[in-house]
Amino acid sequence: MTTPAYQQAVAAFTRLYRYQHLAAIAGWDQAAMMPPGGNEARGAAMAELQLLMHGLLTAPALQQALQAAAQESLSDAEQASLREMRRVWQSANLLPARLVEAKSLAGSRCEHAWREQRKANDWHGFLSNFREVVQLAREEAQLLADASGKSRYDALLDKYEPGMSSAELERIFGDVKNWLPGLIRQVMDKQAGETLIPAQGPFAVEQQRALGVEIMGLLGFDFNAGRLDVSVHPFCGGVAEDVRITTRYRDDDFMQSMMGIVHETGHARYEQRLPRALVQLPVGQARSMGIHESQSLAFEMQLGRSPAFLSLIAPLVKKHLGEQDAFDAANLARMYSRVRPGYIRVDADELTYPAHVILRFEIERALIEGDIEAEDIPALWDEKMQAYLGVDTRGNYRDGCLQDIHWTDGSFGYFPSYTLGAMYAAQYFATLRRQEPALDARIAAGELAPVFDWLDANIWSQASRWETGELVRRATGEALNPAHFRAHLEARYL
C-alpha cells in the first residue's frame, strides 16, 4: 500500500514532469520552428521554467516528504522510485537558483548564435558567448564535486551516465585507441579493392522525407504520439507521450538523412515504450544517456547498417528515390559500411565514429578541469583530428569544433555516452544472436519483432528500475564488456 509521504513526493514529481513537458516542447520549437527574432523572449521564458522546476525540487516540503518516505514501508519498486527521486532532488539542491537561470539564458544565447556562426565559420564570434557557458559549467561542476568528492568533470559526467568515472572511460577508450587505428587501416585496404557504385542525385527533400517516414513506420514509430521535422542538428526531443524527432537533408546525399532518421527513431521507440504509468517519475524515465544512445545505435549501427536490414529496405529506397544500380541491396550495404575518415561526427561511419567521441571527451575534460581554456580548443582539435583520423581541420571551424550543438548549452560530460551506447548496443545484439541464431534471416524477411520484443522486455519497459550496471547484467548476463564492440566491428568489416 502506497504511504502518505511517498505519495506527496510522487505528486511533486508529477508536477515537475508537467513543467518538463512544456520545456521540452518549447525547446523543440526553438530548434525546429521558431523564427530567429523570438529567441530572446524564448530564452527568458525557458529560464523562467527552469526556475519553476528548480523551486519545486528545492522546496522544504519535498525534502520532508523524501525523508519521511524513507521511513515508510515501501515495496521494492517504490524503494527504487524513491532512490531515483532522491538522486534528482540531491543534484538540484546543490545548485543555487541564480546559477540555474544564468545557465539557461547563456545556453539559449550561445546555441542560437551558433547556428549562424557555424555557417560563417566564425569561431571568434562564437567564443564571445561560449566563454560564459564554460565559466558557468565549471561553477556547476565545482559545486557538484564539492558535495560528491568527485573531480569536476566526473561530477558532470554523473549527470548523464550515473556511476561512470573518467578513470573508467580512460581505461575503456585507451584500449579502443590501441586497436582502432590498425582496424581502420586494415578495413580501408580491404575496401580499396571493392567496387562501389555511387548514388546519382539530386534527391528531392520530399522524396527523402517520404522514404524516412516509411522506414519509421517499419521500425514501429507511433505517429499518433510523435512527429518528424527538420533542424540544424538532428535530435530527439519532446516527451514520452509526444516524441519529436528531427533530421536534416542534403539534395546531393540521401544517406545522412535516412540513417539519421533510423538513429533518432531508436531514441523515440525507447521514449514511446517507457512504462506509461510511471513516466512522470524519474524511475519511469530513461536510465542514462549511454543507455539512450544504446537504443539509437542499436537501431542505426546494429540493425540499420546490417546487410539484412538494408536488403529489406532496398525496394523502399528505389520506390522513393528511383531505380538505379546503386540502390541494389549489396551496393547499399557497401555504401553504409564504407570506412572513410571525415570531419563530421554525425555523418561518420561506424568504425571512425569512436575517434570523434574520444577526441571530444579528452578536450571537454581538460576544459572543465581548467587544464585548457576555450581559446585553446581549435589547436587541440586540429592536433587530435590529425592524430586520430589523419584529417586536417586547420582554419575549418565549421566542420571542426563548431560542428556540434552539445557544448553550446553546457552539456559537458555527454559525449562519452555515444561510444558507451555503441558498446552496450553491440552487447545486446551479441546476446540476441545467441538467443536467436536465425536473427539476420528473420530481419531480411521483414520480421523485426525479435529485436523490438527483446529491447522492450530488457530495456524499454525497465526504465530506471535498476541502476545501469544491474540493468545491463540482467539484460545480457554480464556488466559492460567492450570486447563485444570490437568483435562486432571485426565481424562486420573484415
Question: Annotated active-site positions, please?
Answer: 264
Q: Which three cell numbers stand for residue 478?
A: 554480464
Q: Which three three-digit cell numbers place residue 193?
A: 579493392
Question: What is the helix (H) or strand (E) element at residue 306, kind and residue range?
Answer: none
Within 10 angstroms of residue 278's Cβ, the number of other Cβ atoms is: 17
**Per the omega criterion (within 30 degrees of 0), is the bond before 36 cis?**
no
C-alpha cell belonging to residue 147: 558535495
DSSP letter string over 378-430? HHHHHHHHHHHH----TT--TTTTTS-SGGGGT-TT-THHHHHHHHHHHHHHH
Contact indicator for 342, 396 with CB cutoff of 8 Å: no
Give the 3-state DSSP-derived string for 181-223, with helices as H, strands as E and coil as C: HHHHHHHHHHHHCCCCCCCCCCCCHHHHHHHHHHHHHHCCCCH
Of the candidates 164, 182, 114, the one whose C-alpha atom is nearest the C-alpha of residue 351 is 182
Backbone torsions φ then ψ of 246, nearest 5 degrees: -130, 160
Cα–Cα distance measured from residue 360 to residue 366, given in angstroms and rounded to the nearest whole number: 10
* CA 267 to each of CA 28, 260, 274, 298: distance values in angstroms, whole numbers, following the listed order: 15, 11, 11, 10
| Euclidean distance between CA atoms 72 and 225, whole angstroms | 37
List all residues 6 or more positions away from 437 whose beta carbon is below 8 Å from its beta carbon: none
Cell numbers for 295, please give them: 537504443
CA dihedral 198, 204, 205, 210 (to 10 degrees): -90
CB proximity list for 76: less than 8 A, separation 6 or greater:
none
At residue 137, the 3 state secondary structure works out as helix
